[in-house]
Amino acid sequence: MATIVNSFGSTYRQKGAKMLITETGEIVGTLSGGCVENDIFQYTKQISDEPLLISYDATSEEDLIWGFGLGCNGAVQILLEKLDYSWKLSPLNLINECLT
């Protein structure tokens, strides 16, 4: 799960926007105009159980040529977390969750 935790200046999406990347590479949601999504997908191949904070800064003039397309001179910090829902597959955990 990728979540924008901070945004500065003008960006395509704001703090709280989420994007889910499945193990098979399917992407649900978006965090930019489409340019950082592929880069974030590459990070998912190396993520461990520890969350990873990724920063993209498009505030410099160079970003106009080489940038990620954040949406007009902004910067974002994206938290990439590995989700583990295997505990929900247990029937006892499911019953417990339904009762609480």
Identify whether the C-beta of residue 70 lies closer than 8 Å to the C-beta of residue 35.
Answer: yes
Measure Cα distances from 76 to 5, 46, 67, 90, 94 in Å: 8, 20, 13, 37, 36
Domain range enclosing 94: 2-99
Count of domains observed in the chain: 1
pTM, two decimal places: 0.74
Tokens 């910090």, residue?
77
Does residue 37 contact residue 30 with C-beta atoms inside 8 Å?
yes
Task: List, for residues 9-48, the tens digit of each pLDDT value.
Answer: 888 888 999 999 888 888 888 888 777 888 898 898 888 8
Given strand 27-29, what is the order of strands in its sheet? 27-29, 18-21, 2-9, 74-80, 52-57
**Comparison of pLDDT for 64 and 25, the residue scoring more:** 25
